[in-house]
């Protein structure tokens, strides 16, 4: 499975996703600022992947801190946290990764600074390994919803490139394929940065899964024609009531699915669920450079000079349009998401199974 990021020899290698699928090149980072820049410019993108990049960036930054005591060390680290948190606002995984490192610091405050530096590297690598396992669990829970011969639609890229290395929305597809099922996946090209066309179509084809690439505006007609059996997308941040922020265009798909009674599933690792917010209105939505809309690959201008642009990168789908959320702990209705953080709850009571 292709990996978007890897820690090796005290460096971090990032597969440059802006060049895919035409060139496979890696950016070698030795400083946290380089990682922050890779996140901003979307050389690495996708919520769990930028969470992992954040942890690895902090690990790199920590190595260069010269501090005489724990308090000074944490003060310097806080500046790195601020830099990483400023990169992209919508995906909660960045904040989630910072919080993981913060709790590691609290737990190990009596260790030597050198030991803590080592532990941060270990934690960053662990976050990636855990993410792959989480994705596989999402795949096992979700694969049952994929029936032999069915037609799936997905949006943007929630594949291995967007995660530690297996994908969230793609995980049920990979597991279903391993189970010997055959199915087609319609992939929205996903304007303006074409993550669907460049990344998802590439990843799925490499795994031998039949892909049909469509323009974003074709999806509605296909859904209306009865050509789509289910939609599976990822998420950058899901609120505790099950409102889902994901790539712009997701909301449109969800409304269409409701109208035409097509199940709309969201694959969400717990690291992408923000239990601190009650609903989607609290999710910060990123707006990006107008040039992403007026130019293709920053090179070919496709709109008049000076035209006004609105480039909203994500939208929020209200929970009423979401059939179920596929997590590593099972598949749940949006209204039952909160049960996941109550350790005393018997989750079996709330899990959904394919019929």
User: Does residue 234 interact with ligand MRU by CB under 6 A?
Assistant: yes
Residues 6+ apart with CB under 8 A from 42: 17, 18, 193
Angle between helix 70-85 and helix 47-63 axes, rounded to 10 deg? 150
List, by residue number, the catalytic residues: 236
Beta pairing class for 151-154 and 230-233: parallel
User: Does residue 156 interact with ligand MRU by CB under 6 A?
Assistant: yes
User: Does residue 47 interact with ligand MRU by CB under 6 A?
Assistant: yes
Residues facing 330 on adjacent strands? 327
Angle between helix 171-178 and helix 113-143 axes, rounded to 10 deg? 60
Residue 235 Cβ vs ligand MRU, minimum distance, rounded to whole Å = 6
Q: Considering beta carbons, is residue 121 or 244 the nearer one to ligand MRU?
A: 244
**Long-range contacts from 285-289, C-beta under 8 angstroms, 24+ separation:** 285/89, 285/90, 285/245, 285/312, 285/313, 285/314, 285/315, 285/316, 286/88, 286/89, 286/90, 286/312, 286/313, 286/314, 287/311, 287/312, 287/313, 288/313
Q: Considering beta carbons, is residue 48 or 73 the nearer one to ligand MRU?
A: 48
Residue 186 Cβ vs ligand MRU, minimum distance, rounded to whole Å = 16
User: Does residue 195 interact with ligand MRU by CB under 6 A?
Assistant: yes
Of 221-229, 234-242, 255-263, 335-343, the window that binds ligand MRU (rule: CB under 6 A) is 234-242
Beta pairing class for 324-327 and 330-332: antiparallel
Of 1-9, 29-37, 111-119, 161-169, the window that binds ligand MRU (rule: CB under 6 A) is 161-169
Q: Considering beta carbons, is residue 195 or 319 the nearer one to ligand MRU?
A: 195
Q: Considering beta carbons, is residue 246 or 294 the nearer one to ligand MRU?
A: 246
| C-alpha dihedral sign at 161, 142, 178, 254 | negative
Using CB under 6 A, which residues numbered 77 to 96 contact ligand MRU? Answer: 91
User: Does residue 45 interact with ligand MRU by CB under 6 A?
Assistant: yes
| Closest to 323 measured CA to CA, from 155, 100, 145 | 145
One residue of 247, 262, 326, 334 binding ligand MRU per CB under 6 A: 247
**Spatial contact of 299 and 235, defined as CB atoms under 8 Å apart:** no
Query: How many residues interact with ligand MRU (rule CB under 6 A)?
Result: 17
Of 41-49, 178-186, 255-263, 335-343, the window that binds ligand MRU (rule: CB under 6 A) is 41-49
Residues 6+ apart with CB under 8 A from 226: 260
Give the largest CA-CA distance in the chain.
67
Using CB under 6 A, which residues numbered 249 to 308 contact ligand MRU? Answer: none
Q: Considering beta carbons, is residue 128 or 246 the nearer one to ligand MRU?
A: 246
Residue 250 Cβ vs ligand MRU, minimum distance, rounded to whole Å = 7
Q: Considering beta carbons, is residue 196 or 318 the nearer one to ligand MRU?
A: 196
User: At 287, phi and psi to the nearest 5?
Assistant: -115, 140
One residue of 163, 200, 240, 327 binding ligand MRU per CB under 6 A: 163
One residue of 168, 271, 294, 317 binding ligand MRU per CB under 6 A: 168
Which residues are near ligand MRU by CB under 6 A? 45-48, 91, 156, 158, 162-163, 168, 195, 234-236, 246-247, 313
């Amino acid at each position: 499975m292709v990996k978007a990021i890897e820690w090796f020899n005290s460096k971090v290698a990032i597969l440059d996703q802006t060049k895919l699928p035409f060139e496979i090149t890696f950016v070698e980072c030795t400083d946290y600022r380089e990682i922050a820049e890779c996140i901003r410019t979307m050389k690495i993108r996708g919520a769990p992947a930028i969470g992992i990049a954040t942890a690895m960036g902090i690990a790199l930054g920590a190595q260069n801190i010269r501090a005489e005591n724990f308090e000074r060390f944490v003060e310097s680290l806080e500046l790195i946290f601020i830099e990483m948190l400023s990169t992209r606002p919508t995906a909660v995984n960045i904040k989630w990764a910072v919080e993981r490192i913060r709790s590691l610091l609290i737990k190990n405050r009596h260790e030597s600074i050198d030991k803590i530096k080592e532990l941060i590297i270990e934690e960053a690598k662990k976050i990636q390994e855990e993410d792959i396992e989480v994705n596989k669990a999402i795949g096992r829970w979700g694969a049952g919803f994929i029936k032999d011969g069915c037609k799936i639609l997905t949006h943007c890229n929630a594949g291995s490139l967007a995660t530690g290395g297996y994908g969230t929305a793609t995980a049920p597809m990979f597991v279903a394929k391993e189970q010997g099922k055959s199915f087609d996946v319609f992939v929205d090209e996903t304007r303006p940065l074409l993550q669907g066309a460049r990344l998802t179509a590439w990843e799925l084809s490499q795994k031998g899964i039949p892909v049909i690439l469509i323009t974003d505006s074709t999806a509605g007609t296909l859904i209306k024609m009865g050509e789509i059996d289910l939609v599976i997308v990822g998420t950058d941040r899901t609120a505790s009531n099950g409102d889902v922020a994901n790539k712009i265009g997701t909301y449109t798909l969800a409304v269409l699915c409701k109208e035409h009674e097509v199940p709309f599933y969201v694959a969400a690792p717990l690291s992408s669920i923000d239990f601190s917010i009650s609903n989607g209105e609290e999710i910060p939505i990123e707006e990006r450079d107008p040039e992403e809309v007026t130019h293709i690959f920053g090179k070919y201008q496709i709109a008049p000079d000076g035209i006004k642009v609105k480039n909203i990168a994500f939208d929020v789908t209200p929970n009423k349009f979401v059939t179920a959320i596929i997590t590593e702990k099972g598949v749940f209705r949006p209204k039952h998401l909160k049960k996941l953080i109550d350790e005393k709850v018997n989750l079996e009571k709330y899990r959904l199974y394919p019929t």
